[in-house]
Structure 1
């Protein structure tokens, strides 16, 4: 028996938010030394991601659905990416935020289209986080320095990695 689409979407989004929480926690940990001016903004983003993760967790619990099998993978991947990019400094942090959120926003728009009127609860949960994810993306985009070294290297790698984790999560 296959899992209903709304359940799969909520599971994957919950796992993704866990990855985002760990990404920001790791960046905050090291940004105090490498990009201290970004730490307050990263804390603000972390607060958003903690709320998003709780939203999806609560929806899964209400449905009696277990979390995604990719939950721990997303958490570990987010932590490692956050540590690495935090160590590389402000342009790497900004590039990572912009790259991750560009994929996430595209994914959320596709999810909303797929859910339409078939699962109003899942549609509502996905819709509730879009504005904050857009805010993260826009801050990342605006904080990238023109001509900086890291964005051109990190952006494609982070986009492909994020898309791959989402793809895998939808199939686990």
Structure 2
């Protein structure tokens, strides 16, 4: 499943790269932070096993879904190619969230702790990426 998710994420990265190219824009200056943060997060939560990986995935995907859905609202009727690009990604992101959620208890202490920490970090990286 993780290989499938990885393949999806690579495809999403390509969609966003094409969108940046279409607009004549460089990727955000926080791109390296996303990569480094993802590596560290993956290594640390990997040590926690399947529940840790799943809880982290739920937290990250929840933030990403909210962000993409807000972007859709803002871009609707303004930039249809961007709306199409984002829409093409949403179903897979929801699938990642739902698949991970099926492997961790809603009331798990680990899930609650990771959700707070990982959500805050993910929100911060997205905010930074939108500002740089």
TM bucket (normalised to shorter chain) is over 0.9
2:115 counterpart of 1:155: yes
User: Among residues 120, 123, 128, which one is paired with 2:88 in the alignment?
Assistant: 128
Distance in 2 between residues matched to 1:80 and 1:123, nearest whole Å = 31
Q: Which residue of 1 aligns with 2:74?
A: 114
Structure 2 residue ranges without an equivalent (≥5)? none
Count of aligned pairs between the two proteins: 132
Task: Tell me the TM-score normalized by structure 1.
Answer: 0.73
Matched, 1:52 2:12: yes
Instruction: Report the TM-score when normalising by structure 2.
Output: 0.94
Q: Partners in 2 of 1:118 and 1:149 — Cα distance?
A: 42
Q: Provide the C-alpha distance between the structure 2 equivalents of 1:147 and 1:128, rounded to a whole number of angstroms.
A: 32
Summarize the Cα distance change of 1:67–1:160 in structure 2 as closer, same or farther, 3 Å threshold. same
- Root-mean-square deviation over aligned CA pairs: 1.3
**Cα deviation, residue 147, structure 1:** 5.8
User: Alpha carbons of 1:108 and 1:147: their partners in 2 closer, same or farther (altered >3 Å)?
Assistant: closer
Residues of 1 paired with 2:19 and 2:43: CA distance? 30
Which consecutive residues of structure 1, in runs of 5 or more, have no partner in the other structure?
A: 1-40
Cα deviation, 1:23-51, whole Å, max 9, x if unaligned, reads xxxxxxxxxxxxxxxxxx11110010000
- Quote the Cα distance in structure 1 between the aligned partners of 2:78 and 2:106: 44
The answer to whether 1:93 aligns with 2:15 is no
- Could you tell me whether the CA contact under 8 Å between 1:91 and 1:148 is conserved in 2? no
